[in-house]
Structure 1
Amino acid sequence: MPGLRTLALTVAVRGGARWETEAQSGWSHLLEHLVFKGAGDMGARDIVERIEAEGGSINAATGYERTSYEVRALDGSLPLAMQVVSDLVFRPRLDPAEIEREKDVVAQEIAEAFDTPDDHVFEMAQTRAFTGQPLGRPILGSVESLKPVDRASIEAWRARLYSPDRMVVAVSGSVDEDELLALSERWFGDAVAMPADAAQPATFVGGDAKLARRIEQANVVFQMPSLSATDPRLSSLRLFTEILGGGMASRLFQSAREDRGLAYAVDAYQEAYEETGIVGIYAGAAADRSVELAELCATEVVGLAEQGPTAAELSRAKAVLKGGLWMSDESPASRAGRIAAQTLIYGQLVSSEASAGRIDAATIDDLREVGQALIAPGVAATAVLGPKAANGAGAAFTRTLSRGA
């Protein structure tokens, strides 16, 4: 990106919680923590001090299908960034004492997620959506599943998870291509591939989860089975989701909050996995009005699916999605993360112009088609966390949705 004084490095691997057995639940996330406790000739403090001494920052994230390490730095810092991340993924110390200490840290993270209603309710819905499958287990795992982890087991998992044949090195910003290729060969070129088992196929199951708590507000999540990351209709689905609940002009915000005052926060979101996906709705509402809210949310889904959007809604949603696309193009970190993900998902890069073209090409009929596919199964994964008065919200959403199926 000409004219920039900074760069962004992303090292991403096609691997994460989806590849874990039930007994290994949370190991990928624990490993991501552990590598920062020491790698190569660096201790925990050395890792961050070396990056920050160059004006940079470093972070990592573990998901169901990808694990990534990210460095933002000033120009000229690529050699250091590549060396540090290479040490993290290939040469972590994995000290036994640090492993036990970090288990306690992750246990606190698990407890924090449980204590945060608008976090835990998503875990509840995910578990209902993919019951008994890796996609239905929390990425953090559990205290019980982390208990048996020792140096030998986590090192074996590291070798499988961070296998170079499933890894992408992506850099954007102030970067020289020849330097990048030479550094990639130096720091990643001699890594040994470890064959991994295929991820277990995912099947949307659905169901209703309820957890009563003495809190002021009910937190509700409604999820429906949807398209995979490689489905050619995905642009149409993103537009559908944007119109449904993507912003303040969306149908859900206008009907649930502005017109009827049922919720302070309400929005729709979309997640695409390798062979399946979900469209979900989150809302926080008064417990005694949660059933009414659930029925309204399902009614809006069915109405949009059956009638399609107005021309004005479609035009506005296209502008929003393209605006986000072009804005992310101006961020080195967004670019590096996006091209890494595209390489892992599609095996090639997809230009922003091509993505914008797909958005522009979507029609009202296309959105109606993906919407009808969304409601056709008549199933949902619902979660309600809060006062008992809200317990019926999940069943109300599914019942109303089924009438439109």
Structure 2
Amino acid sequence: MSAPAPPTGWEFRVRRVEGAPLVAVRAWLRGGARAEAVPGQCYLTGRLLAEGTRRRDWRTLAEATESRGMVLTGTSGFETHAVALDALAGDWALALDWLAEILLEPAFPADRAALLCRQARAELASLADQADATTARAFLDQLYSPHPRGRPLQGTEESLATLTPEHAAEHHRRALGWGGVLTVAGLIDEAAVAERLAGLAAALPAGGDPPPEPPAPPATPLARREIVTRGHDQAHLFLGRLTVDQDDPELPALALLGIVLGAGSGLAGRIPTRIREREGLAYAATAETAAGAARDRGRLVCYLGTSPATLSRAEAAVREELARLVAEGPTPAEVEEARSYLLGREPFRRETARQWANLLATAALTGKPVDDPAWVIARLRGVTHSEVAAACRYLDPSALAVTVGLPATG
């Protein structure tokens, strides 16, 4: 249900979820890394929200939440930063009060900011040691830069050295002005929660101004890029291109096509079946058609983990499979199998209070009723075979960008 009218730019969503006596409380603020002024600014902001308020420092806050069996996290993404509290259902009012305190009275302590920046630098260093992650990052840079999706959410080694608590406070202040979404889901009395939210609404600043738009991805990314990783014996190959965003009417057709290609569970799909199972050209083979589709366009991405000795053959085989789909389209049986797979997983996305709280937020932020299973099912069932076949044009091998990560030794 929708709670009483919040201030401009904000939306409240509440849902009773039968089952375990738990509640998930969320606050999502618009903007995210797409709107940050310094790389890593949104990441630091989200993480710092769980590190204390003007009423209590990080240790006191941690002890308070742990004493009630609550789990508090501050998170960030490319489109939002958020606070999440998971609690026993009987503590829903306390969880909401604490969420409001964290949201409206954050402290952004300097010592915790310095610690989080050090942790972020350590995360980047760890990823640099992983050949597949390094190649994936280079691929995203190739497709998206100068758009923020072309860089790590944590920022860069250089930007992390410059970030301060003031950067986090400024990003949070601006995000409050852009508005957001509050969701509560669990074994609760919806009317009682709605009444409590009405009181919270008075404390929220009016929002509604849209966040600034980031630089656009390149119209024509570099066609091929090779990097040397810290790996010892494996090569990593990424092929792909930008496809569609969350508002594109072809997104459902591309979702079905992704399963045909290899985005489902296990080793099903044309890419893993041929490359790994039939020809043994790779130890890992996956494919997606609209990975990360949101306000910004998602991407077709075919990934292979292989030996340098079989790299050329593996790439040629991927291109052949893509060309075959462009020329012939998927079979009706493949489309129906893909539809059954996506329909079959839907109930498992709505089992817990956490899942519902996140779905409610996604529905509010995107303006699409993804929390309504009937809408999702009708959308998937409405996709025709011809629509999936038409979406195959995004697989054109001649339009793909390629990133290759070669081992330093081996």
TM over 0.5: yes
1:206 is the counterpart of 2:221? yes
1:258 to 277, 285, 290: 277
Q: Secondary structure at the match of 1:300?
A: helix
Inter-partner Cα distance in structure 2 for 1:37 and 1:305: 51
- Cα offset, 1:100, TM superposition: 2.5
Structure 1 contact 129–380 (Cα < 8 Å) conserved: no
Task: Tell me the equivalent position of 1:369.
Answer: 390
Matched to 1:253, the amino acid is P
Task: Tell me the equivalent position of 1:379.
Answer: 399
Inter-partner Cα distance in structure 1 for 2:160 and 2:66: 31
1:105 to 103, 107, 119: 119
Inter-partner Cα distance in structure 1 for 2:331 and 2:242: 24
Task: Tell me the equivalent position of 1:170.
Answer: 183
TM-score, length-scaled by structure 1 = 0.87
5+ residue gaps in structure 2?
1-16
Deviates further, 179-188 or 67-76 = 179-188
- Cα offset, 1:82, TM superposition: 2.0
Inter-partner Cα distance in structure 2 for 1:6 and 1:138: 34
Task: Tell me the equivalent position of 1:395.
Answer: none
1:292 to 302, 313, 323: 313
1:275-324 per-position Cα deviation (integer Å, ceiling 9, x unaligned) = 42212122211122122212222222232233222222112211111122
Matched to 1:101, the amino acid is L
Q: Secondary structure at the match of 2:83?
A: strand
Percent of aligned pairs with the same amino acid? 23
Structure 1 segment 296-335 matched on structure 2, within 5 A? 296-335=317-356
> Structure 1 or 2: larger helix share?
1
Q: Secondary structure at the match of 2:188?
A: coil
1:241-297 per-position Cα deviation (integer Å, ceiling 9, x unaligned) = 111012322111110111011122211232212142212122211122122212222
- Cα offset, 1:201, TM superposition: 5.5
Inter-partner Cα distance in structure 1 for 2:276 and 2:61: 46
Deviates further, 310-319 or 32-41 = 32-41
Q: Secondary structure at the match of 1:211?
A: strand
- Cα offset, 1:347, TM superposition: 6.2
Change in CA separation of 1:322 and 1:10 when aligned onto 2, cut-off 3 Å: farther
Inter-partner Cα distance in structure 1 for 2:121 and 2:19: 44
Inter-partner Cα distance in structure 1 for 2:336 and 2:134: 35
1:230 to 244, 247, 252: 247
Structure 2 contact 323–397 (Cα < 8 Å) conserved: no
Inter-partner Cα distance in structure 2 for 1:300 and 1:388: 30
Inter-partner Cα distance in structure 2 for 1:2 and 1:98: 38
Structure 1 contact 306–368 (Cα < 8 Å) conserved: no
Deviates further, 3-12 or 265-274 = 3-12
Change in CA separation of 1:371 and 1:59 when aligned onto 2, cut-off 3 Å: farther
Inter-partner Cα distance in structure 2 for 1:330 and 1:132: 39
Inter-partner Cα distance in structure 1 for 2:196 and 2:79: 26
- Cα offset, 1:361, TM superposition: 1.7
2:92 to 78, 85, 97: 78
Q: How many residues get paired?
A: 386
Inter-partner Cα distance in structure 2 for 1:96 and 1:129: 35
Change in CA separation of 1:103 and 1:389 when aligned onto 2, cut-off 3 Å: closer
Task: Tell me the equivalent position of 1:182.
Answer: 195
Backbone CA RMSD of aligned residues: 2.4
